[in-house]
Chains A and B, each alone.
Chain A
Amino acid sequence: MVESDQRPFWGRLSGWGPYRSSMRLLSAGPRRQFLVLVTLPVLWVLTQHLGPMVQMASVSLTDAYPVAPGTETHWTFEHYLKFFTDRIFWMPFFRTLIFASVFTFVTLILTYPVAYYLARHVSPKNRMLLLLLLLIPFWVGEIVRTYAIMILLGNTGALNLLLQSIGLIERPIPFMYTSFSMGVGIVYLTALYMLLPLYSALEKLPRSLNEAGADLGAGAWTRFRRITLPLTLEGITSGCILVFLISTGFYATPVLLGGPSTTVFAQTIAGFFHVAGNEWPTGAAFATIMFLAALIVTGVFQKLMNGLRRGDVR
């Protein structure tokens, strides 16, 4: 007959023989505890986070992928050279970088006053509510929001109807399938990623600095330019980097909102994976080029902004 154990669950567990011996084995000394804790994260990060990128880079340097059985692969640089040979490859690439920069700048200009208002002019109690109000649309997916923009900007869309009814235009303006419609869509999708870093930077800014500036006779514009703007450069930098990286990665939005003259590099890359042929290494090379370019642009941008920040402290 088994005597029932009256101790609570945790007491029973820690008294249970197999548990005790395995714990003794795993947590003997801080060194072993650390090893137990660190193994899974390191393995996961190397194989799952870094692995796909390394594999993509190495595929971009081989002449065939997937490798047909019985054949040998050779290292080659031809896929990278291919990029420079044809206008239809590098045009979308530069277009993507320019579009992403412009959209990032527009997002910054659009969201800075909103973040400023929330952080500086709203009482802390209402602040969360007003911020939450802006969060709601951003839980809605990329495709649904892109579709919403299509309905807004179409020839029989709401915007054209509005402009016609107030008599500004007679015939609908073809907004759709242009860089304008694409920009409206991408700014719509990324605004929150700019707004949140700006908001947290502005919220951290002590009010006393602005008051001191006012006491010393600085006008509103001077205070903004000499105090607020320099001290929120960090938030501006991270928001811009985030939005830039996200904007370069959009595929569905340019497909749905853009036209033939706005083809972005994501569409070029995707093209190599639609066909059943052996074009994967070229696609991999182009994706690697895109990734490196995005890293370089954001890296240079960060360096510039850091320089600007240090310059203002002096």
Chain B
Amino acid sequence: MNRGNRVLLSCVYWAFVLYVFVPLLLMILMGFKDSKFIGFPIRSWTLEWYQGVFADTEVISTFGYSMAIAALSTLVSVLVGTWIAVLLEGRRFRGRTILFGLTILPALIPGIISAIAFRIYARGLGIEPGMGAIVWAHAVHNVPFVVLVVMARLSTLPKSQVEAARDLGADPLISFLRITLPYLIPSILGATVFCLLLSFDDFIRSYFLGGYEPTLPVLIFAKLRSGMSPEINAIATVALVLTAVIGIWAERFTRRQARESDA
């Protein structure tokens, strides 16, 4: 009975793996089809669409634009998020629960509502749609994820180390910079990569806060609305490879870092 269960469950797992991988693999395959027409079967293959993507200055500059937005917004998110995590973890004060709730709020607001609220707020502040507005919205939206990741790591920090540093005469800032911060580095790096991917992949905020220049997901969306083409598959595949490689690398890196600092 137990054995039968196990086999059945492993079949379910692998079926689920197929479900999450097959659509992406098909999408990648279609980018090599030697025809303008999206659909199966694929009879002849070509690299022409990829050559087109790398020759298209609009697409290349969109990649750069999205990466710049991701880098800037991540910088803000990580700084603010780490600060809030340090305040919230291991301290008890009045209003802590409320502050924590408000910190997590942006992660719980459904996408469309968050985008609309940011758009209205930006207009109230006089921020024009464009890069600044997108960077700001991504930065605010990603803070909760940084806080959660850094707080989890901070909760395992041996308090005695900080106390030892203070006893030896280090002031709060120096003991933070020399004891706490190095301990947090793996989680901060993990949070950084997570924010970079969230920002790079974000559609809804970029769409509502963007100006004339599209980010990569907005460009793909706009192209899709005017019809499917293997060119879009090539663009999407380049984006997919980029995000997957960064994600896998970060996962391995943070795991190794965490193991080393635990040892």
Contacts and interface: CB of A to CB of B under 8 A. Distances in A.
B87 interface: yes
Contacts of B121: 51-52, 55-56
Given A55-B124, A111-B16, A252-B221, A151 B110 contact: no
Given A45-B99, A49-B105, A256-B224, A55 B117 contact: yes
A102 interface: no
Residue from the set A116, A117, A294 with the largest chain B CB neighbour count within 10 Å: A117
Contacts of B39: 154-157
B164 interface: no
Interface stretch (A78-86, A225-233, A243-251): A243-251
B99 A41 contact: yes
B102 interface: yes
Interface in B232-250: 232-233, 236, 239-240, 243-244, 246-248
A28 B81 CA distance: 25
B60 interface: no
Interface string B223-235: 0110010001100
Contact of B27 (A46, A151, A284, A290): A151
Interface string B90-130: 01010000010011011011111111111111011000000
A273 interface: yes
A117 B37 CA distance: 41
B20 interface: yes
Contact of B113 (A10, A111, A139, A287): A287
Contacts, number: 253
B111 A249 contact: yes
Given A40-B80, A118-B13, A134-B16, A52 B26 contact: no
Contacts of B232: 147
A45 B197 contact: no
B218 to A, nearest CB: 8
Given A140-B201, A142-B203, A273 B174 contact: no
Contact of B201 (A44, A141, A220, A256): A141
A144 B1 contact: no
A285 B72 CA distance: 32
Contacts of A27: 171-173
Interface string B12-42: 1100110111111011001000000111110
Given A137-B24, A147-B236, A154-B39, A132 B251 contact: yes
Given A252-B204, A287-B117, A269 B112 contact: yes
Interface residues of A, number: 85
Given A113-B12, A140-B240, A252-B207, A151 B38 contact: yes
A91 interface: no
B2 interface: yes
A121 B117 CA distance: 45
A209 interface: no
A1 to B, nearest CB: 29
Nearest to B12: A113
Contacts of B6: 121
B49 interface: no
Given A117-B9, A161-B40, A290-B110, A49 B203 contact: no
Residue from the set B10, B88, B200 with the largest chain A CB neighbour count within 10 Å: B10
B75 interface: no
B208 A41 contact: no
Interface string A182-196: 000000100100000
B190 interface: no
Contact of B21 (A46, A50, A137): A137
Residue from the set A52, A140, A143, A251 with the largest chain B CB neighbour count within 10 Å: A52
A269 B240 CA distance: 30
Interface in A33-83: 33-34, 37-38, 40-42, 44-46, 48-53, 55-56, 59, 65-66
Contacts of B86: 37
CB-CB nearest 4 A-B residue pairs: A249-B110, A156-B39, A141-B201, A249-B111
12 contacts: A14-B174, A49-B103, A128-B255, A137-B24, A140-B239, A140-B243, A141-B201, A142-B217, A143-B236, A161-B41, A191-B20, A283-B116
Given A41-B84, A52-B118, A251-B203, 15 more contacts: A49-B140, A52-B120, A53-B109, A114-B12, A133-B17, A134-B17, A138-B20, A140-B239, A141-B217, A144-B24, A145-B24, A151-B228, A188-B20, A256-B224, A284-B116
